[in-house]
A = this chain, B = another copy of it.
Amino acid sequence: MSELTGAQALVRTLIDSDVTVCFANPGTSEMHFVAALDDLPAMRGVLCLFEGVATGAADGYARMAGRPAATLLHLGPGLANGLANLHNARRAHTPLVNVIGDHALAHKPLDSLLESDIDALAGTVSAWVRRPATVGDVGRDAAEAVAAARAGGIATLIVPADVSWSVGAPVGPPVPVAAPPVPSLDFFPGERCALLLDGDALTERGLRAAGRIAAATGARVFSRGWPARQRRGAGVPATEPLAYRGEQVTAQLDGVRDLVLVGARTPVTSFAYPGKPGEPTPAGTRVHTLAPEGSLAAAVALEAWADLVAPATEPVLAPFAPPPLPHGPLDARNWAAVIGALLPAEAILVDESVTGAAALQAATAQAAPHDFLALTGLAIGQGLPSAAGAAIACPDRPVVCVQADGSAMYTISALWTMARERLDVTTVVLNNRSYAILRAELERTGAATGAAAALMDLSDPDLDFVALAAGMGVPATRARTAEELARHFADALREPGPHLIEAVIA
């Protein structure tokens, strides 16, 4: 019989299945897991001061590493705190393994103070949930959790404390993951055709295939507005991101007769509005699916399709043509040109600028080549944590996080993890002193002014992100002009470790 505790077998199984980072905010019911880390340095434990940081970091890590990280969360409330970023991860089809400690089996009926319905919470975000019944099961279940995650979803393993502390647990051998089926489509892209790419289709491989088809047939290439990960910039075929508002999407798709979905879904507006359609695709557009949303073979399928319809065509690549450095006081757009002008090659650009997203995408379309990670599930508070996770996945690449002010406050303690782990993340907080996107939404509902407008206002008192960063060990500066932002941004990129720049938007 194994000499290992359940917790030791669990950690060893994760490592054997190539899960080697655990973003953790543990509690008493996870102490044996924590203790197991001492013997197993192949698992890197990263402390997060809030579970939403742990789950967001695991999402950002997996988007860049291409393999899951684990989270370690404390019972139902710990999982609850991590749910919003798990929601984003679900909408990104991110592979991710949650490990949640639960009370010992005999303790659960006592309904002690932290008891709650973990399974109900986990079910709202997970593709796979399991609770090992005995110490003999935990290794096998952990290996199956990793396999379930690798299929593109969230796997949640709820481990009773007595399963963790009991001895006799075998390590689970890695569970092979079947190659995803490669879909195909019997359709020749003709006039007035457009592709809509998402997920795996937004890799360089997928984008090159789409670019070949576009060059050969004149098809247009759209992409999800806020993707999980997209290769962009000089040397990469460009896409036209779908806009946030439904009426703009309808205008973008005007004239498209055939829309081919490649790893994407039919466009849907984020919200309903009185008298406006929730599906902005123009009536009469014929929608075809080459690869469904979440397919891990979208790029391969697209390449095969390109070999058929554009066998001898090369894609058009975006030139290296970053915007010129702007001058004068910062406003709602010119900050983006600073990022585009100075973005280093092979940067990972994490975007939670919300109302600034369109400006940022425009300003970086012909910047140095980079990977772009966006807010996939609209649950704010993703930017800073996923930047931390991406930096852990790719320690040799610069990470740039462009972060709105209101959203930043959701998971602000990610800055502390960046400082602790010496992550090379440059965060630019866009401080416009409001929930600007909600102001725009409020205007849509009518002319609210007094109490209502106050609930969108972040200016009383002003948030001082330089002080907040300093409080968590991250060096920070403030910029009020484009010149200041350029200088601070270049300085931050030059120095290793985390930096924050508060960009005060007039």
Contact = CB atoms under 8 A, between A and B. Distances in A.
Interface of A: 24, 26-29, 31-32, 34-38, 41, 45, 47, 49-50, 52, 76-78, 80-81, 83-84, 87, 91, 103-104, 106-107, 110-114, 116-117, 120-121, 123-125, 161-162, 165, 268-272, 274, 278-279, 376-379, 381, 406, 409-410, 412-413, 416, 419-420, 437-438, 441-442, 444-446, 448-452, 454-455, 457-458, 460-468, 470-473
25 contacts: A28-B441, A29-B271, A32-B445, A34-B452, A35-B445, A35-B452, A41-B451, A45-B452, A47-B457, A50-B381, A77-B377, A80-B80, A80-B84, A83-B83, A83-B121, A87-B116, A112-B268, A113-B377, A113-B378, A165-B274, A409-B413, A462-B473, A463-B472, A464-B471, A467-B467
Contact of A272 (B24, B81, B103): B103
Contacts of A41: 451
Contacts of A31: 438, 441-442, 444-445
Given A103-B271, A419-B461, 8 more contacts: A26-B438, A26-B455, A77-B84, A107-B269, A112-B278, A114-B377, A120-B121, A420-B460
A-B residue pairs, 7 tightest by C-beta: A461-B473, A467-B471, A77-B379, A80-B83, A107-B272, A468-B471, A104-B272
Nearest to A375: B113
Contact of A455 (B47, B110, B113): B47
Contact of A467 (B113, B455, B470): B470
Copies in the complex: 2
A272 to B, nearest CB: 4
Residue from A31, A35, A165 having most chain B Cβ neighbours under 10 A: A31
A407 B124 CA distance: 26
Contacts of A472: 461, 463-464, 468
Contacts of A103: 271-272
A84 to B, nearest CB: 4
A35 B120 CA distance: 33
A113 B91 contact: yes
Nearest to A47: B455
A292 to B, nearest CB: 13
Given A31-B444, A83-B83, A409 B50 contact: yes
A186 to B, nearest CB: 27
Contacts of A78: 84
A308 B220 CA distance: 86
Given A161-B272, A441-B31, A37 B451 contact: yes
B38 A410 contact: no
Contacts of A460: 420
Contact of A49 (B116, B124, B409): B409
A282 to B, nearest CB: 16
B270 A112 contact: yes
A400 to B, nearest CB: 22
Nearest to A103: B272
A89 B272 CA distance: 32
B378 A271 contact: no
Contacts of A406: 49
A438 B441 CA distance: 44
